[in-house]
Structure 1
Amino acid sequence: MLTFVGLGLYDERSITVSGREAIAKADRVVAEFYTSRLTGTTLEALQAYHDISIEVLERADVEQRPESILDTALTERVVFLTAGDPMISTTHVDLRLRAAERDIDTHIVHGTTAQAAASSLTGLQNYRFGKATTLPFPSAHGGDTVPTSVLDTIDDNRERELHTLVYLDIKAQREEFMRASTASELLCEQYEDVLAVAVCRAGSDDPVVAADQLSELATRAFGAPLHLLVVPGTLHHMEADALVELADAPRNCLDGYSE
């Protein structure tokens, strides 16, 4: 049996009860933290909370050398841990398909996602989000500008009056996380006066949600990661009110965004 368990968004307490129960029954627990991280905890704290030993896998262990996981899952109960929801990343879907090819039973224990949290914290309606995109560090793609694919996604969504969730780059091995201010500065070159919303430390006891023009967000310090950025499309009047009340959006920044 191979069970994929989502750890939620922030720390060791973010997991569901079903997730805790699955871990307690496991013969082997593995985890990957290269697609995302629980920035509110440590591996040691996670292990202590669940009273288990966790084997942390590198990308190659999951994508290129998964045989160890699958071989064990043929006869034992293996739990595969990830931040957020375990099936958001395509690499985890691939692992599940490999298990199915070997007639290994699989089970999923869902965790909440950054996209759900972004909608919940900002008050932006979840069905008004279009395609999401990821903004990489400039060094990651060999250029000093925002990739065309990112701009195309934002532009396409804005034309359709939809919101864009922008995931911010993570360099797991270097413990480097893009901040909302950096993302705003990068996007500001193309969208200086465009409204955006920074969502920081979703899932924690003190999340930060701030809405303003990108040029203003670029000057702010939002503290510890993880951060997200939302570029809104057209706003329903309730969404506009939510950004003012929940994200301190200046009213003048909302001009032209109402339906």
Structure 2
Amino acid sequence: MLTFIGLGLYDERSVTVEGREALRAADRVFAEFYTSRLVGADASELAAHHGVDIEVRDRAGVEQDPEPILDAAADGDAAFLTAGDTMISTTHTDLRLRAEERGIDTRVVHGVTAQSAASSLTGLQNYRFGKATTLPFPYAHGGGDVPASVVETIEANRERGLHTVVYLDIKVGTGPTGPDPDHEEYMTADVAAGLLAEEWEDALAVVVARAGSPDAVVAADRLSALADREFGDPLHLLVVPGDLHHVEADALVGLADAPRSLVEE
């Protein structure tokens, strides 16, 4: 059996009760933290809290050399952990399909996602979100600006009156000059706002920082204004709202300190 377990958003306690039980019952436990990570606990703290050994795999160890994970699942019960929800954004469908092809039973234990938390924290209604996008570091796509695909996604959603979740780039194990096992870099919301302000300087945006943590931050303002603020430790994301329902406008004012004049424009 191969059980995919979403750990939630913050620390070793954010996993669901079902996920905790499956994690502790597994014969071997694998994890990856290159697509996202828990902001309140590292792998050693997670392992100590749950009384298990965790084998952390890098991208190559999951995508190019999954055999140790699959062999463990074929011989017993294996768990595979990611932050958030293991099949949302940090998607590992390929690994699950490989297991199924080998006749290995699989199941998914879901965790809270950054997108659902963004809706909950901002008060923006979940069914009014359009396609999400990821804003990469400029060096990661070979340019110095916002990729056309990001601009197109946000514009298409805005034309339909929909909100856009903008995930911010994470680089673990690779940097500007190539592979680097010691490199960790997390785009912050002020940097992202500065990049997006080149396209939409006066557009309303909402920062969500450290969703799921005790000190989560939600802040709404013009992109140009957000670019001049600091929002503390990662992980961060941005939401670019579309048309606002009056309850959503009130929520941004009350929960994110948005200027009333801005949400009413």
TM-score norm. by structure 1 comes to 0.97
| 1:121 corresponds to 2:121 | yes
* Matched letter for residue 219 of structure 1: D
Which consecutive unaligned segments of at least 5 residues does structure 1 have? none
Whole-Å separation in 2 of the counterparts to 1:41 and 1:90: 18
Maintained 8 Å contact 1:210/1:248: yes
Instruction: Say whether the 8 Å CA contact 2:7–2:84 is kept in structure 1.
Output: yes
Q: Corresponding residue for 1:12? A: 12
1:161 maps to 2:170: no
Letter in 2 for 1:97: L
Shift of residue 91, structure 1, vs aligned partner: 4.8
Q: C-alpha offsets along residues 43-71 of structure 1, whole Å, 9 cap, x if unaligned?
A: 22111111111000011111111111111
Tell whether the 8 Å contact from 2:35 to 2:90 is kept in structure 1 after alignment.
Answer: no
Q: Which residue of 1 aligns with 2:179?
A: none
Q: Aligned partner of 1:211: which letter?
A: A
Matched, 1:185 2:189: no
User: Which residue is 1:214 aligned to?
Assistant: 223
Q: Is the 8 A contact 1:63 1:91 kept in 2?
A: no
Aligned partner of residue 239 in structure 2, secondary structure = strand
- C-alpha separation between the residues in 2 aligned to 1:155 and 1:227? 21
> SS in structure 2 opposite 1:230?
strand
Say whether residues 1:35 and 2:22 are aligned partners.
no
Q: What does residue range 91-170 of structure 1 map to in structure 2 within 5 Å?
A: 91-170=91-170
Q: Deviations over 1:206-257 (max 9, x none)?
A: 100000000000000000000010000000000000000000000111133x
2 CA distance for matches of 1:64 and 1:24?
27
How far did residue 42 of structure 1 move? 1.5
How far apart are the structure 2 equivalents of 1:144 and 1:89? 25
Q: Which residue of 2 aligns with 1:59?
A: 59
The equivalent position to 1:238 in structure 2, one of 243, 247, 253, is 247
Contact 2:133 2:150 in 1 (8 A): yes
Question: What is the aligned-residue RMSD (CA, Å)?
Answer: 0.9
How big is each residue's C-alpha offset from its partner over 1:89-123, in whole Å with a ceiling of 9 and x where there is no partner?
A: 47510100111111100011100100000000000
**1:175-219 CA-partner distances (Å, limit 9, x unpaired):** 210000000000001100000000000000110000000000000
1:226 aligns with 2:235: yes
Q: Following the alignment from structure 1 to structure 2, what is the Cα–Cα distance between the partners of residues 130 and 182?
A: 23
Query: Structure 1 vs Structure 2: percent identity of aligned residues?
Result: 70
TM-score (normalised: structure 2): 0.95
Distance 2:81 2:228 in 1: 36
Structure 2 distance, partners of 1:251, 1:89, is 33
Structure 1: how far apart are the matches of 2:242 and 2:16? Answer: 33
What secondary structure, in the 3-state scheme, does the structure 1 residue paired with 2:154 have? helix
Off by >3 Å, runs of 4+ in structure 1? none
The alpha carbon displacement at 1:159 in A equals 0.1
